[in-house]
């Protein structure tokens, strides 16, 4: 295992654990390259750092992420801290000659995202963002259906992403409600549907956005109430070139929606529908079926939709959220090895950030904003 890659992990929250599970499982699932070596883990508290290192199977831990990114045994750095830290950490890691796997959203400001992209370009290293949903075999299958022309020429697309973690008007104010965290729904998770658009069609050529605040203020943990500074709900029109019109609706206050990313694609010969709360399913309607027997087909994820087959050999047995991260990890390893890989690198990620900021600008100026 001389050529096994050395891994550093910064951050051990939800996504930190998810990265750790991916690094741990990728070898047994795919089997096609050396087992990664879990070298170094960074967390702000020393005790927690040590405990997580033991849990996740890392050799050593630190409270100083700068020590980690300069550790000669570390070749790739997983960055899973809050977005405000992404730029500084990613740039430092790239400058230290490490590959970077950074969680989304890329950064709070466009300037930071540009700085990260420039650092990636300068380093020559692989720099990839954690857009795991593009790895879903069902999303890949949608891409294959589109590429084969099965539904003809697409003319209209609808996207929705909804959760309810801010749906309670009495949920206390926290950092995600600050303007410093971004526009709200669009950068917090609108980037996910944008990542799907990007891999399936490319990003919008122009956008028109209406951002809204369902609850103008929220209780402060320290008492009293505090004004909410960004927008939990966003309603967006877009175009993908002159041929395809679209809508995107986002809400973090949508009671009952837990992880919905709904996608509807309409073409000249058929339609596709998808809802990520059922991420192992895909709906396909084609006009080539006999007229009296046409209907949306519910296609269940299975070995015909690689790399599902690397996880389970039987269809309909369900992949989970964490499995998508293992696929992403594998694609990252392919990218690092210089092989063709399905990843959203910093260049592509910057384009997503540009779309996000175009939406913000559109809302402020109440007009269509073109995107290069």
Name which of residues 206 to 245 contact its own copies (CB under 8 A): 208, 210, 212, 214-215, 233, 235, 237, 239, 245
66 binds its own copies, rule: CB under 8 A = no
The CB-of-215 to its own copies minimum distance in angstroms stands at: 8
Cβ closer to its own copies: 267 or 349? 267
Query: For residue 194, which of 14, 371, 13 has the smallest C-alpha distance?
Result: 371
Query: For residue 191, which of 357, 363, 17 has the smallest C-alpha distance?
Result: 357
Query: For residue 265, which of 248, 250, 277, 242 has the smallest C-alpha distance?
Result: 248
Cβ closer to its own copies: 96 or 254? 254
318, 308 in Cβ contact below 8 A?
Answer: no
Cβ closer to its own copies: 41 or 92? 41
370 binds its own copies, rule: CB under 8 A = no
Torsion sign (Cα): 278, 164, 106, 4: negative
- State which of residues 45, 59, 289, 339 lies at the interface with its own copies (CB under 8 A): 289
Cβ closer to its own copies: 111 or 268? 268
- State which of residues 293, 338, 340, 372 lies at the interface with its own copies (CB under 8 A): 293
- In terms of DSSP bridges, do strands 217-219 and 225-227 run parallel, antiparallel, or are they unpaired? antiparallel
- State which of residues 259, 342, 345, 371 lies at the interface with its own copies (CB under 8 A): 259
What DSSP character marks residue 84? G
The CB-of-293 to its own copies minimum distance in angstroms stands at: 6
Complete DSSP assignment for 127-176: EEE--GGGG-HHHHHHHHHHHTTTT-SEEEEEEEEE--TT--TTSPP-GG
- State which of residues 4, 44, 82, 255 lies at the interface with its own copies (CB under 8 A): 255
256 binds its own copies, rule: CB under 8 A = yes
CA distance 284 to 151: 9
Say which residues have a Cβ less than 8 Å from residue 91's Cβ, sequence separation at least 6. Answer: 115, 116, 119
Please list every residue from 81 through 140 that binds its own copies, using CB under 8 A: none
Say which residues have a Cβ less than 8 Å from residue 47's Cβ, sequence separation at least 6. Answer: none
- State which of residues 75, 160, 328, 353 lies at the interface with its own copies (CB under 8 A): 160
159 binds its own copies, rule: CB under 8 A = no
CA distance 297 to 313: 22
292 binds its own copies, rule: CB under 8 A = yes
How many residues bind its own copies (CB under 8 A)? The answer is 99
Considering only the stretches 27-35, 101-109, 219-227, 352-360, report the one whose residues sit in contact with its own copies under the rule CB under 8 A.
27-35
CA distance 101 to 177: 26
Cβ closer to its own copies: 100 or 272? 272
329 binds its own copies, rule: CB under 8 A = no
CA distance 25 to 23: 6
Cβ closer to its own copies: 145 or 181? 145
Please list every residue from 348 through 367 that binds its own copies, using CB under 8 A: 366-367
**Residues in a beta bridge with 111:** none
- State which of residues 117, 253, 348, 351 lies at the interface with its own copies (CB under 8 A): 253
Please list every residue from 298 through 327 that binds its own copies, using CB under 8 A: 298-300, 302, 304-305, 311-323
278 binds its own copies, rule: CB under 8 A = yes
């Amino acid at each position: 295992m001389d050529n096994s890659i050395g891994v550093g992990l910064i951050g051990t929250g939800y996504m930190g654990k998810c990265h750790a599970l991916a690094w741990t499982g990728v070898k047994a699932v795919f089997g096609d390259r050396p087992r990664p070596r879990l070298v170094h883990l960074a967390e702000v508290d020393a005790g927690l750092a040590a405990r997580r290192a033991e849990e996740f199977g890392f050799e050593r831990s630190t409270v100083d992420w700068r020590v980690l990114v300069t550790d000669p045994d570390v070749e790739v750095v997983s960055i899973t801290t809050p977005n405000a830290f992404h730029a500084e950490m990613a740039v430092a890691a790239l400058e230290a000659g490490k590959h970077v796997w950074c969680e989304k959203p890329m950064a709070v400001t466009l300037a930071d995202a540009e700085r990260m992209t420039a650092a990636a370009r300068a380093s020559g290293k692989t720099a990839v963002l954690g857009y795991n949903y593009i790895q879903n075999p069902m999303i890949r299958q949608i891409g294959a259906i589109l590429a084969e022309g099965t539904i003809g020429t697409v003319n209209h697309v609808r996207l929705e992403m909804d959760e309810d973690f801010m749906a309670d008007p009495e949920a206390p104010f926290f950092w995600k409600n600050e303007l410093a965290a971004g526009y709200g729904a669009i950068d917090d998770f609108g980037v996910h549907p944008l990542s799907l658009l990007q891999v399936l069609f490319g990003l919008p050529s122009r956008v028109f956005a209406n951002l809204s605040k369902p609850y103008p203020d929220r209780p402060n943990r320290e008492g009293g109430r505090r004004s909410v500074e960004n927008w939990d709900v966003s309603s967006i029109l877009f175009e993908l070139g002159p041929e395809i019109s679209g809508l995107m609706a986002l809400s973090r206050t949508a009671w009952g929606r837990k992880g919905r990313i709904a996608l509807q694609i309409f073409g000249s010969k058929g339609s596709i529908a998808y809802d990520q709360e059922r991420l192992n399913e895909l709906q396909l309607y084609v006009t080539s079926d006999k007229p009296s027997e046409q209907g949306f087909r519910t296609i269940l994820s299975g070995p015909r939709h690689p790399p599902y087959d690397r996880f389970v050999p039987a269809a309909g047995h369900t992949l989970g959220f964490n499995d998508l991260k293992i696929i992403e990890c594998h694609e990252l390893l392919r990218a690092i090895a210089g092989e063709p890989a399905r990843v959203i690198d910093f260049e592509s990620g910057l384009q997503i950030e540009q779309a996000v900021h175009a939406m913000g600008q559109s809302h402020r100026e109440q007009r269509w904003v073109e995107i290069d």
